């Protein structure tokens, strides 16, 4: 686990350095690494994450990579939806803010869990590490932000109490503002 953490730190640093262009030089004694599938980033329309898994079995490496990526993606979407729900409900000035937020978050968890089964693989690569003979599986996955908002609306429309306090266009506008911050 410590090796994975170190690898992620090195990978993140290399991505940071590579995204900065030629203005910043890599420190002396260090080698810049660009990892497979690491160039996929979230934007204002799509949530994207990158991860990897390692195992002596190629299928297990793939499952680890996908599981790690889905966990990270779920966290990213969940935190974004929480901010959106907070901002949306506060902007609507609903009297029962806590109750409405709780129901929005419950809805959000349900939608995220359903959407995660439909993630799209944006990139995947497999390598074999010569020193250990283990397989390393790199993966980048993505979720369409518009589909999440539409699924969220469908789930909310089934709840009459929430629909009283819900305006789809206002919610979508709040969501799009938050996606600009990705």
Query: Hey, what are 46's tokens?
Result: 């799509």
Q: Indicate whether 30 and 42 sit together in one domain.
A: no
Higher local confidence (pLDDT), 56 or 12: 56
pLDDT tier at 84, thresholds 50, 70, 90: confident
**Domain assignment of residue 1, given as a range:** 1-34
Q: Indicate whether 161 and 108 sit together in one domain.
A: yes
Q: Indicate whether 100 and 55 sit together in one domain.
A: yes
Q: Indicate whether 91 and 107 sit together in one domain.
A: yes
pLDDT for res 57:
94
For residue 56, give the DSSP letter: S
**Model pTM?**
0.68
Query: Hey, what are 165's tokens?
Result: 């306090």
Q: Indicate whether 30 and 93 sit together in one domain.
A: no
Q: Indicate whether 26 and 45 sit together in one domain.
A: no
Query: Hey, what are 15's tokens?
Result: 């991505």
pLDDT digits (tens, 9 = 90+) for 95-136: 666 666 666 666 666 667 666 777 889 999 999 999 999 999
Angstrom distance (rounded) from CA 49 to CA 93: 34
pLDDT for res 40:
85
pLDDT for res 55:
94
Neighbour order of strands in the sheet with 120-128: 46-55, 135-144, 120-128
């Amino acid at each position: 686990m410590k090796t994975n953490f170190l690898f992620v730190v090195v990978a993140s640093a290399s991505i940071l350095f590579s995204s900065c262009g030629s203005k910043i030089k890599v420190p002396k004694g260090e080698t810049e690494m660009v990892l497979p599938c690491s160039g996929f980033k979230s934007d204002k329309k799509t949530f994207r994450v990158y991860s990897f898994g390692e195992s002596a079995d190629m299928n297990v490496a793939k499952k680890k990579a996908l599981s790690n990526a889905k966990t990270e993606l779920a966290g990213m979407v969940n935190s974004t939806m929480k901010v959106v729900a907070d901002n949306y409900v506060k902007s609507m000035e609903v009297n029962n803010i806590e109750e409405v937020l709780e129901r929005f978050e419950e809805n959000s968890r349900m939608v995220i869990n359903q959407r995660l089964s439909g993630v799209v693989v944006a990139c995947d690569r497999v390598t074999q590490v010569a020193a250990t003979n283990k397989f390393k599986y790199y993966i980048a996955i993505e979720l369409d932000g518009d589909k999440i908002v539409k699924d969220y609306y469908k789930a909310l429309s089934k709840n009459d109490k929430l629909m009283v306090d819900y305006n789809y266009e206002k919610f979508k506008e709040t969501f799009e503002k938050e996606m600009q911050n990705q």
